[in-house]
Structure formats: structure tokens, C-alpha cells
Chain A
């Protein structure tokens, strides 16, 4: 009877715990492979290797490797996407998402290659998206970033959002808070670095990422059909994008902070009230009968 009670208690505990572990359970369906150029394979946590095809459910702790022509875009349930180029290696270490609160956590290990991260709902919060690499770990908040890892070298370009924080293997810290900037990392011996430099993104770097993350002609990303120029032009997007007259498009740029008195109010702000009629400052025929000596 005592044994029966203990077994019941264990089962009951496991059953109750399973509810608390819902986010982890949810990680078994954390996203899908939304575009796949062959060849790409994945290694499941069980050790089973499978060919990645479009529409695969992405699984927690799954490792994805792409070949010389491979390209994979993973779409997560919060709307975040990870696009990895050829000869890349990626493991989804952690993914937790609470749709009701729009909060969660995404952690990936990126061993090599080129990737672009575009943040969904969870990336809006601090410390929610981390990418572990061989040269250090980056956190991306509210944004978009390109990453290139090649052994002891790393390139981190911040495209859009709040910040990209790099934490080195020895705790070194670098932060990009302005989109359009790139962090260059080069490891020296041990946990040291021979280069940790933040500077404006160069044109060549942008084009490198664009080239590496684009499909090749003849590839179709696993889709049955791809869009055509006419399909895009006649679709629902252009009225809200390319068909908007250019003068109405206001890009998100940093505001001007040093400003003189605004143009429409300069007359009243700078001249008035000192420009108005004043018996002290005007000539003495202000009144017929001058009231002051």
C-alpha cells in the first residue's frame, strides 16, 4: 500500500510538473523550415539524421548543417527568422515563447558560416536572443543582424533595432547601439582578442552578406512555385510600399537635435514682446501729452 502511494505520488508529481514544463514542451514545435535549398541535413537530439525539407518542424536541440549550395530559413512561432547560408552549422539550444505575453527566449549556437537574424516578438525584450559562436556570444535586441563566423574570426553587422551586445570569451564587452555599424572580432591566444573593433559597416561587407544569403538561379527554396514580377506587382504589398509616392516615405533616421528657433515662430519668439510699442523705448511723440519727462 505504501509502495502504491509512492508510485501514485511520483506519477502525480510528473503529471503536475508537465504543466509547468509547457514552454519546454512547446519547444518540440518551435518553428518550421520555411525555405530550404538543398543540401541541408539535420541531426535530431536522438542522433537521427534527416534531410531538411520545406515545412519540417524544427525541434529543440536540433542541429542543422548546410552544404556548399545549401540555404535554410527557419521561421519561429514568434515571427523571428534565422536564415543560414552555405556551409553553416546551427543548433537551436533553447526556445521558449509565451504568446500571451509576447515574451520568450531564443538561444542558438552558430558554429560557422553566414546567417541573418530578423527579430520577431521575443527579440523586443532585453536578454531574450543570444547567439553563441566560437569567438563569443552576441545578444540582439529588437532587431536584425548579419553574422559571419570563420574559425577565430567573426563579423557582426547590426542592421536595425536597439542593440547588439558582444560578450567575449574572457568577458570582454562591446556594444553596437546604432544600426549600420559592424563589430569585427579576431581571437588571439586563449580568451584574448587581437581585434575587437566597432565601425561603420562597409559596402563590401553588406554585399558579401547579401550574396551569401541569396539563392542561386535555378534553386527554388523547396517551394512548388516562386513569385514572378507580375505576381508581386499585382499583389497586396505594393500599395503599401513601392506605390507610395516617394516624398511620402520617411525613413527611420536619427533626429536632428541642434535646432535654432523654429522657422514659423521666429518673428514672435525673438522680436515680440520687445518689438512692440513701448513708451520707454519709442520716440517722445508716443503720446500727444507726453506723460514722462
Chain B
């Protein structure tokens, strides 16, 4: 009854998120249509009076609001012909070109804005601020990194069932204390780094991406883990095949994990990832990866090598920007794992939704935005053959649900305070895989 109730709750939550996603998609165009109509009226007036400044600037502002930055650029460049060398116009134009991603022209406008005699100081400081970023964007080698460190509390640090008595092959067994749900605190760290080298061949690059996760428990030290993954490979602009705004990467994967202070597994793999932006506010991502994984037997995990094998993973995501401060993502995935022993072989498939809001809670226009991320997902796993320890006839299947939230509160340009919460429910016909867990984490993230 309780499980059914929890399942219903999770389905209701997922439905709300999906239908909420749909409602916002429907609501967005009507507002945009009104702005477009107003903009067309202004355009007609502008054709009659091209030197009317009020009409021109109103048209430029509306153009920016509907996402037609080119329309704003052409209007402002006309205004610049009316007032040659006007720093404030050059600043606005520089920002528009920056937003379009044309950093060469943006740099030229920012430099012009600063070089004029009698340029107001706020224009100079704003242009300088942008110039720093423009110079970074124009570099051939660029990199970025994030590092989170924090304290985490888990209601179920060992991902174990809550009850000490379980049924295995129809017989009741009593789990040892170590194998029953245990709460614990732990220190956690989670980081990534991304590097790109521009090959100066119309958008082709060499890219490297690194990610890691580490945890040190206060009591459940057997779950102390460190896992890291590195991917590296070239990425290509598919414009060469007349596929607009689409990019494909081909990469090698290497990862490894330590568990309880011992080597747990290592992985080698290959992958490909395709990113397409059919329109400015829509991004489609398709990923396919193949991984070969080797486990290591230890005193506590004596048969870990039974999991040696390979895994294929396919992922597809659709990301939509409802507004500059609100984005939604919906995605699906499928995995196939083939291991040394068949009761570890499984098919896994599922989906997720995620929303990101950039917030200004105190209406301070100069402040860095807070970012609230809410996500929920579902995974289903079907194992190939019965695990003889659990059942001689029934194969294991798991239904896993989760929902969580992260709030990013910037403390400075580089540091942010980040509380996180997550609830995870795994319903499985394997009693030792049937559990739930609530996790709360607080910490800070450094970004550069």
C-alpha cells in the first residue's frame, strides 16, 4: 500500500512536470506574437520616417526582445551614421555583436567606445568588462572548471533495504546490521574541467572533458569512493555537410573508480555525441557510447570480476529555452550491459525532466543570478537471467524514481553556495535492491 502510494506520488510529480513543460511551451508563442505585431507596426512607421529616433530605438528594443538581434544591429548602425562615433551606441552595438557570437566586431566596437574623447566613465568600465570576455573568447585554447566541496547527509548511505528480514528464494533471512539501511554524514567533492583547442577550420575543435566524484563517510567507510572520467576527441562542424548549426564529437573514454580504498573498476570506451540547434532556443543532443569495464576482486568484494564486460549507452535530450532565464530539458536513455555472468546482464531504459530558472530574488539588476534546478527521472532495469542467490526462477527487475533540486547562490563571480536535496526510490523484486534514500548536501562551488 505504502509502495503503491509512493509510486503514485512519483507518477503524479512526473506528470505535473511534463504537463507543466507543455503548458509553458503553449503560452510562450502568444506573448511573442503580440510583440511581433507591435514590432511590425513600428517597422512600417520606420519605413516612413527612417530618421525618427524614438521609432528607431523602440524598434531596436523590440527586435532584441523577440530575439532578432540582427534587426537591432542594422537599426543602431543607422543611428551611428546619424551620430558618428557616439560611444553609447558603440557600446550597445558591441554588446549586440557579442551576443551574436561575432567577437571580432564586438571588440572593434568596444575599443571604439573607449577611445572617444570625453567618453563617460561608466561606458568605459562596461566596455572593458566585455573586452576581457571577448579576448578570452577569441583565444584558440580555452578552458573552464568547476569544483564543488560539501557536507552530505544520507538517510541510506549504503543503499540498503530498511528491513532486516528479507525473503530469498522463499526463505526468510536476517540481514546483518551492516546490510540494513544506515544513515550517515560524508564529505563530498564533485568537479569537472573542459578544454577546447580551435583548429581554425570553421568550427572544428579538439576537446577534452574531465569529471570526478569523491566521498568520505563518517561511519560507512566501505562506501568511500572516488570515480573520475576523461573524454577526449575531435569535434566537427556539420555545416560542411550543409547541416546547419549541428556539431558532432567523436571521443575516447577512460575512467576508473576506487571503493573503500581499493581499485574497484577501470573502463575504456568510445563515444559520439551530436548537438543540433535547429533554432536559437532549441537544442537536441544524441549520444551513443560503448564501454568495456574491468572490475577488481578484493577481500570484501571477492567476485567483483563477475561484472567484467561491456556496456552500450544511448542518450537523447531536448532542451528548450522558454526565456533567457528559464530552460527545460526532457530526455530519454537506453543502456545494455553484458557481463561475465548472465545475472548481471541487463537492459535499462528511462527518462528525465529538468528545469533551470535564473532568479533575481532581490531585484538587484547588478547581482549575479541565482539558479534553481529541479529534476525528476525514472529508470527501469530488466536483468536477463535469475540470480540463483535471490531466486531460481524470477529475473530481477528494478523501477527507480528520483526527484531533486539544486539552488546555486552566487557569493562572488567565482564562488557559489549550493544546497542540494534528492529523494530516490528503488522498487525491486530483489529484496536487497529495494530501498529508498533521501540526501541533503550543502557546500560551495568554485567556477573558473
Nearest B-chain residue to A160, judged by Cβ: B100
Contacts of B124 in A (CB 8 A): none
Q: Does A54 sit at the interface, judged by CB under 8 A?
A: yes
Residue from the set A210, A222, A260 with the largest chain B CB neighbour count within 10 Å: A260
Q: Chain A: interface residue count, which band?
A: 35 or more
Q: Does B413 sit at the interface, judged by CB under 8 A?
A: yes
Per-position 1/0 for A269-287, Cβ under 8 A of B? 0111111111111110111
Contacts of A206 in B (CB 8 A): 104-105, 107-108
Given the known interface contacts A245-B365, A245-B368, the answer about A261 and B247 at a Cβ–Cβ threshold of 8 Å is: no
Given the known interface contacts A237-B61, A237-B64, A262-B211, the answer about A255 and B277 at a Cβ–Cβ threshold of 8 Å is: yes
Contacts of B299 in A (CB 8 A): 283
Return A206 CB to nearest CB of chain B, in Å. 4
Given the known interface contacts A210-B105, A215-B81, A260-B230, the answer about A287 and B176 at a Cβ–Cβ threshold of 8 Å is: yes
Q: Does B251 sit at the interface, judged by CB under 8 A?
A: yes
Q: Does B448 sit at the interface, judged by CB under 8 A?
A: no
Per-position 1/0 for A128-166, Cβ under 8 A of B? 000000000000000110000000000000011011000
Per-position 1/0 for A23-52, Cβ under 8 A of B? 000000001111101000000000000000
A263 and B61: CB pair below 8 A? no
B231 and A260: CB pair below 8 A? yes
Which residues of chain B in 209-241 are interfacial with respect to chain A, using CB atoms and an 8 Å cutoff? 209-213, 215, 223, 225, 227, 229-235, 237, 239-240
A32 and B240: CB pair below 8 A? no
Q: How far is the CA of A214 from the CA of B210 in the complex (A)?
A: 46
Q: Does A240 sit at the interface, judged by CB under 8 A?
A: yes
Q: Does A73 sit at the interface, judged by CB under 8 A?
A: yes
Contacts of A220 in B (CB 8 A): 82-83
Return B231 CB to nearest CB of chain A, in Å. 5
Q: Does B58 sit at the interface, judged by CB under 8 A?
A: yes
Given the known interface contacts A241-B92, A256-B209, the answer about A35 and B81 at a Cβ–Cβ threshold of 8 Å is: yes
Q: How far is the CA of A253 from the CA of B144 in the complex (A)?
A: 15
Contacts of B31 in A (CB 8 A): none
Q: Chain B: interface residue count, which band?
A: 35 or more
Q: Does A113 sit at the interface, judged by CB under 8 A?
A: no
Given the known interface contacts A237-B64, A249-B99, the answer about A178 and B108 at a Cβ–Cβ threshold of 8 Å is: no
B413 and A260: CB pair below 8 A? no
Given the known interface contacts A226-B82, A246-B130, A249-B98, the answer about A159 and B105 at a Cβ–Cβ threshold of 8 Å is: yes
B78 and A34: CB pair below 8 A? yes
B306 and A281: CB pair below 8 A? yes
Q: How far is the CA of A196 from the CA of B423 in the complex (A)?
A: 60
Contacts of B369 in A (CB 8 A): 245, 247-248
Q: Does B24 sit at the interface, judged by CB under 8 A?
A: no
Given the known interface contacts A54-B50, A227-B86, A260-B230, the answer about A242 and B249 at a Cβ–Cβ threshold of 8 Å is: no
Given the known interface contacts A263-B146, A267-B227, A288-B176, the answer about A222 and B61 at a Cβ–Cβ threshold of 8 Å is: no
Q: Does A13 sit at the interface, judged by CB under 8 A?
A: no
Q: How far is the CA of A119 from the CA of B178 in the complex (A)?
A: 68
Contact residue among A163, A199, A248 (Cβ-Cβ distance under 8 Å from B325)? A248
Residue from the set B74, B169, B176, B200 with the largest chain A CB neighbour count within 10 Å: B74
Contact residue among A143, A203, A213, A242 (Cβ-Cβ distance under 8 Å from B104)? A203
A179 and B102: CB pair below 8 A? yes
Return B225 CB to nearest CB of chain A, in Å. 6
Given the known interface contacts A227-B89, A232-B89, the answer about A249 and B95 at a Cβ–Cβ threshold of 8 Å is: yes
Given the known interface contacts A258-B207, A282-B300, the answer about A274 and B265 at a Cβ–Cβ threshold of 8 Å is: yes
B398 and A163: CB pair below 8 A? no
Q: Does B12 sit at the interface, judged by CB under 8 A?
A: no
Q: Does B15 sit at the interface, judged by CB under 8 A?
A: no
Nearest B-chain residue to A278, judged by Cβ: B432
Q: Does A189 sit at the interface, judged by CB under 8 A?
A: no
Q: How far is the CA of A143 from the CA of B229 in the complex (A)?
A: 39
A241 and B95: CB pair below 8 A? yes
Given the known interface contacts A241-B92, A255-B283, A277-B432, the answer about A32 and B103 at a Cβ–Cβ threshold of 8 Å is: no
Q: How far is the CA of A63 from the CA of B76 in the complex (A)?
A: 25
A35 and B64: CB pair below 8 A? no
Q: How far is the CA of A165 from the CA of B184 in the complex (A)?
A: 62
Contacts of A34 in B (CB 8 A): 46, 50-51, 78
Per-position 1/0 for B36-53, Cβ under 8 A of A? 000000010011011101
Given the known interface contacts A216-B84, A241-B95, A271-B257, the answer about A75 and B50 at a Cβ–Cβ threshold of 8 Å is: yes
B211 and A242: CB pair below 8 A? no
Q: Does B262 sit at the interface, judged by CB under 8 A?
A: no
Nearest A-chain residue to B333, judged by Cβ: A269
The segment out of A1-9, A77-85, A87-95, A104-112 that lies at the interface is A77-85
B175 and A286: CB pair below 8 A? yes
Return B6 CB to nearest CB of chain A, in Å. 19
Q: How far is the CA of A144 from the CA of B73 in the complex (A)?
A: 10
Q: How far is the CA of A239 from the CA of B176 in the complex (A)?
A: 63
Q: Does B380 sit at the interface, judged by CB under 8 A?
A: no
Q: How far is the CA of A229 from the CA of B117 in the complex (A)?
A: 13
Q: Does B273 sit at the interface, judged by CB under 8 A?
A: yes
Contacts of A287 in B (CB 8 A): 168, 173-176, 179
Per-position 1/0 for A197-219, Cβ under 8 A of B? 01111010011001001111111
Contacts of A178 in B (CB 8 A): 202-203, 237, 239
Q: Does B374 sit at the interface, judged by CB under 8 A?
A: no
Q: How far is the CA of A276 from the CA of B220 in the complex (A)?
A: 13
Q: Does A194 sit at the interface, judged by CB under 8 A?
A: no
Pick the 7 closest A-B CB pairs, nearest first. A177-B239, A257-B249, A226-B83, A34-B50, A258-B207, A223-B51, A221-B81
Sample of 18 A–B contacts (CB below 8 Å): A75-B46, A177-B242, A210-B109, A214-B81, A215-B80, A217-B84, A223-B82, A226-B86, A237-B60, A237-B92, A240-B61, A266-B212, A266-B227, A267-B213, A275-B264, A286-B178, A288-B175, A288-B176
